[in-house]
Chain A
């Protein structure tokens, strides 16, 4: 059975609600995890970049590759984004 699709609008809503930062790079998006405790000189915030083909419109469907990347980088699941 195929998995339910996640649309960019749903993912974006989840990320904004949970303190993520979305940086626009000429239409492509780089999503930064929320800032954690500040540690001098230590980089800790993971990122996921999603190309503009999947983030131009709220109705654009995220690829399975990006959904997996989001899960690996942020621990955020498909179900969590769908519930936003």
Chain B
């Protein structure tokens, strides 16, 4: 079964003073002011890299994230399903920009099994 490129760890980056969403299977990152916005940026990153890979057969979009990220993912709290749904809507332009989603924590979150059928065969 093809890996899911959207599986990711979301965490607060001290180095960048912002949230980071790190794709476990493509090693791409998204950054944002909150965990949801980092996830949205990462989803867009994965979509764009996969588009480039579809256009150019020499491109390898799959690359495992570092083991340290994978290890933290195993211990992270699952991001609430509702927030994943909102992130998906934001990526597809289905969420009004004037409604922001804030998160008052510095916990790490794990995201798994978002729908990713559009990448089958890449």
- A44 in the interface (beta carbon within 8 A): yes
- B52 in the interface (beta carbon within 8 A): yes
- From A32, A47, A51, contact of B30 by CB (8 A): A51
> How big is the A interface, by class?
20 to 34
- From A25, A47, A64, A66, contact of B61 by CB (8 A): A47
**Are the C-beta atoms of B31 and A53 separated by less than 8 Å?**
yes
- A38 in the interface (beta carbon within 8 A): yes
**Are the C-beta atoms of A65 and B16 separated by less than 8 Å?**
yes
- A10 in the interface (beta carbon within 8 A): no
Number of A-B contacts (CB under 8 A): 70
A21 → chain B closest CB, angstroms? 9
Across the interface, which residues of B come within 8 angstroms of A48, CB to CB?
28
- B113 in the interface (beta carbon within 8 A): no
**Are the C-beta atoms of B58 and A45 separated by less than 8 Å?**
yes
> How big is the B interface, by class?
20 to 34
The interface centre, meaning the residue of A38, A49, A66, A69 with most chain B CB atoms within 10 A of its CB, is A49
**Are the C-beta atoms of A32 and B56 separated by less than 8 Å?**
yes
- A60 in the interface (beta carbon within 8 A): no
Q: List 14 A-B contacts (CB under 8 A).
A: A28-B48, A30-B48, A32-B52, A32-B59, A43-B57, A43-B61, A46-B60, A47-B59, A49-B28, A63-B13, A65-B15, A65-B16, A72-B63, A73-B63
Give me the interface of A with B, judged by CB distance under 8 Å: 23, 25, 28, 30, 32, 35, 38, 41, 43-49, 51, 53, 63-66, 69, 72-73
The 9 closest A-B pairs by CB, nearest first: A64-B15, A43-B60, A49-B45, A25-B48, A63-B16, A30-B52, A45-B59, A45-B58, A65-B29
Give me the interface of B with A, judged by CB distance under 8 Å: 13, 15-16, 18, 20, 27-31, 41, 44-45, 48-49, 51-53, 56-61, 63, 66
